[in-house]
Amino acid sequence: MRSIDEVLSLYRGYGIRAQLYYQSLAQLKKCFPDGQDQTVLANATQMFFAVNDESADYVSRRLGDATIIVESGGSGSGTSTQRSPTSSQSSTTHSTNTSRNWNQVGRRLLKTEELYTIGERTGITFVPGMPPIMTTLERYYECKMGPERWRGTKTLLATLFLLVAATIFAAVGGDHARCAGTGPENSGGRKGTSRHSPSQRRARVA
C-alpha cells in the first residue's frame, strides 16, 4: 500500500485524487498496519454512513464536545393553621414556592449510542479545515435533475444523436457506392443492344 500512501500524502499537489471505500476502521487498519491508517485519515476527506462499534466511537470523539444548558428546579406548597388557646378562632396560612436553575454542562456533540440511530442514509463528513457536516445519502436515480445536470444530459443526448446519425449516413453512403460500382454504366464495356430474328426469339421462348 506504499503507492497509495504516496498518492494521498505527496501527489495531491499534482491534482491526483483517489477514493477509498472501507466497511469499518478495522478494515482500514488491516490494509494499512503499523499506524499507517492514521496517515490515510489525516490526508483524506472522511465520510461515515451507518457506523457501528469502533467507527461510531471514533466519529463521536472526532465530533468533540458541546456545551448545553440543563434546567433544574422544583416547586412546593404548604399550609399552616394556627388556633388561639383562649378562643375558637383560628388562622390558616398557605405558602407556595418555585425554583428554577440553569446550568451549563459539557457533553459529546453526538454520543456513540446516538450515532447508532441517526439512520443509514444520514452521514457525518469531515473535511480538512472545516467544521463537521451532516449529509444525506441520495441515490443518483432519486435526485432531482437540476439545471447544471440537465445541461450535461442534453449535451450527452445531442452527442449520441449525432453519432447515430453519422453511423447511419456512413452505412447508407457505403451501400450506394457499392451499388453504383456494379452498374452497367460502370462495368468498363460499351453499352449496346442485341437484335434477334423472330425465329431466334421463338426458339429462345420454346
Q: What is the pLDDT of residues 24-71, one digit of tens each?
A: 899 999 988 888 888 888 888 999 998 887 889 999 999 999 898 888
**Residue in 110, 118, 115 with CA at minimum distance from that of residue 64:** 110
**Structural domain contains residue 152:** yes
**Structural domain contains residue 160:** yes
SS3 53: helix
**Structural domain contains residue 174:** yes
- Give the model's pLDDT for residue 155: 78
> Taking 70 as the threshold, does the pLDDT of residue 194 lie above it?
no
Separation between Cα atoms, residue 192 and residue 9, nearest integer Å: 83
**Structural domain contains residue 11:** no
**Structural domain contains residue 72:** no
Confidence of residue 161 (pLDDT cuts 50, 70, 90): confident
Neighbours of 27 (CB within 10 A): 13
Q: What is the pLDDT of residues 118-129, one digit of tens each?
A: 888 899 999 988
| DSSP letter, residue 107 | E
Confidence of residue 82 (pLDDT cuts 50, 70, 90): confident
Higher-scoring residue by pLDDT: 183, 36: 36
**Structural domain contains residue 175:** yes
**Structural domain contains residue 66:** no
Separation between Cα atoms, residue 24 and residue 56, nearest integer Å: 10
Residue 138 C-alpha cell reads as 441520495
Q: Which domain holds residue 172?
A: 144-180
- Give me the number of domains the chain comprises: 1
Over residues 191-201, the mean pLDDT reads: 51
Determine contact, residues 5/43, Cβ cutoff 8 Å: no
- Give the model's pLDDT for residue 195: 53
**Structural domain contains residue 159:** yes
Residue 194 C-alpha cell reads as 442485341
